[in-house]
Amino acid sequence: MEETLQKSFIAGLERLTARADLLDSINVFPVADGDTGRNLSVSLFPLRNAGQPKEKIIHQLLLSARGNSGNIASQFFSAFCAMENISELADRTREGKAKAWKALSNPQPGTMLSVFDALSDVLPGIINIDKETADNIIISLEKTVHETNEQLPRLKDAGVVDAGALGMYIFFEGFFYTLAGIPDNCRPVTETFKNRLRISSSFQENTESGYCVDFVVKAPNYSADELKIITSTQEEVIIIPEGDFYKIHLHTQDKEKVRSQITGLGNVVNWEDDNLASQIEEFKHSHTGPLHIMTDAAGSVTSQDARKYGFTLLNSYLTIGEKCLPETYFHPEELYSAMNKEVKVTTSQASVYERHQFYESVLERFEKVLYLCVGSVFTGNYQQVLAWKKEHDKDDRLLIIDTGAASGRLGTITLATAQHLARTNDIKNTFAFAKKAVEKCEEYVFLDKLQYLAAGGRLSKTSAFFGEMLNMKPVISPLPEGAKKVGTVRNQEDQVKFALAKLAASLKNDSRALIMLEYSNNKNWVNDTVKKMVTNLYKQAEIIVQPLSLTAGAHMGPGTWGIAFLPE
């Protein structure tokens, strides 16, 4: 594949990923479960590797596809990403469109399918992509997305465009302008679709129950028609064959029954499920105002926290074996299981372009944004956002704090600040609160083994060896000057004593502090043992149990746990 094409695929994906929250916020069709942005980001992530053999990318798209939107999009891109140069654009688009329409038993216009139709109509005869050509393509797609509001009654009732169609528009805008050599030519999405990006207050979400299930099964002895019969009693069924593999998406009331039936057919190689009722309930109570908080995923906060409190998470990346995703898209068990099996694990930051897209995205949607940035000693994010702000934020709408923090300390500061903003609705007051929280918040992380720090170059292998021989376990605190070793203990009992001593030194027993307990692969122990002890001592405190940031977990390993706290 030509290098310019590879860059265009990555630009389209990163532009889409940075606006996943926006897509989630208007996702009402076919059900209001608020996950189209996440599903498209996960499903299309293999496009980052667009230069690899097309058979490998197509199989990765099959494995990663999530939700209605993700499965439809992955079918389109399984053809579209197979092009070697732009002379194949029209043919690959036509092929992808046909595959996307066939993926559904009841395909409907007014969705991303209409965007694929429009793209297929406008491409024939195009042999070169310059600014004028890219403009004409994007204008055609823009018109199609606007029309989705009229085509589907549910969208008209909600007053929005289709989230999946908008997601494809955002992708293709980045793709074609990069292909034309002008990647920064994209217009703000809120300017292009300004009256169709907020759900009407009169819109009533339907109540749903059951599960949205995605899985891949290797079933060499069964045909797609036989699988259709087995899944005929389920809803929203999509069956995609690829050799001996079948990707199946469906909505069901009984996920365990489905799993049992499918396990009898062959080897289930991938399984994901979401509780529809929980997602819809979260969607009903999601709130976005004119003031906003952004932080880095390197803090011990989850995508569920971001939806609940209404803040944006800037991606950091985790690579487990050959699988690379934003860290918040992994299950913690997947990381720690791989580490126990000595699978290679690495971490990385979002590209400069993706980070810029996130900055643009939040300022497109909100009047003022407070960015609680991971400590500048840990990543280059702080320097990068300062440089971008100097060039692009002439009205000083993006406020930035170098927290000097990571993992639980960053997560605790973020949650407390988000709560404060919700109470006060005052960004200047919240900025002052956050600065004070940065000064007062503490964190202590307890490692079980030293080998992972040594493997990552953060500790000499000799030190790790002697530490293990002496049964010594370090205590780490992420500080503005870096991760500092602040103590050494011999066993888990001593770890707990150390943590309680640090709490006692900073908190009174009647303190209304925010206390975060972090776990790696030891959630039950942290929840049952540590939380009970802390709760008994600090009955007025808000005590939460969170997964340790997977970036931190990748460097510190299984058995790690931590405690972060902010006095009232």
* 258-267, 286-295, 467-476, 529-538 — most confident range: 529-538
The CA distances from residue 226 to 62, 99, 222, 463, in Å, are 20, 20, 6, 59
* Encoded tokens for 385: 């956002």
Give the three-class secondary structure for 392: helix
Q: Is the pLDDT of residue 467 over 50?
A: no
pLDDT digits (tens, 9 = 90+) for 38-86: 999 999 999 998 888 889 999 999 889 998 899 999 999 999 999 988 8
Say how far apart CA 379 and CA 102 lie, in whole Å: 44
pLDDT of residue 549: 96
Residue 455 pLDDT grade (very low, low, confident, very high; cuts 50, 70, 90): low
Q: Beta partners for 212?
A: 251, 274
Cis peptide before 30 (omega within 30 of 0): yes
pLDDT the model gives residue 458: 44
pLDDT at position 240, please?
Answer: 86
DSSP letters along 74-96, please? HHHHHHHTT-SSGGGHHHHHHHH
Query: What's the sign of the alpha-carbon dihedral 426, 429, 435, 437?
Result: negative
**What residues contact 74, with CB distance under 8 A and at least 6 apart?**
43, 44, 61, 62, 64, 65, 240, 247
Q: Domains (ranges, CATH) in the chain?
A: 3-192 (1.25.40.340), 211-277 (3.30.70), 282-439 (3.40.50.10170), 442-566 (3.30.1180.10)
3-class secondary structure, 234: coil
* 18 CB-contact burial (10 Å; exposed 0-12 / middle 13-18 / buried 19+): buried
548 vs 265, residue with greater confidence: 548
pLDDT at 453: 63
Q: Which of the pair, 254 or 230, is modelled with greater confidence?
A: 254
**54 token code pair:** 């097309």
pTM: 0.88
pLDDT of 216 higher than 70: yes
Is residue 465 very low, low, confident or very high in pLDDT (cuts 50, 70, 90)?
Answer: very low
The one-letter amino acid at 173: E
Cα–Cα dist 362/288, whole Å:
11
- Is 50 exceeded by the pLDDT of residue 525? yes
Condensed to tens digits (0 to 9), the pLDDT of residues 400-419 reads 999 999 999 999 999 999 99
C-beta separation of 43 from 73 below 8 A = yes
> What six digits make up the tokens of 225?
């028609």
Which residues have C-beta within 8 Å of that of residue 220, sequence separation ≥ 6?
244, 266
- How would residue 238 be classed by pLDDT, with cut points 50, 70 and 90? confident
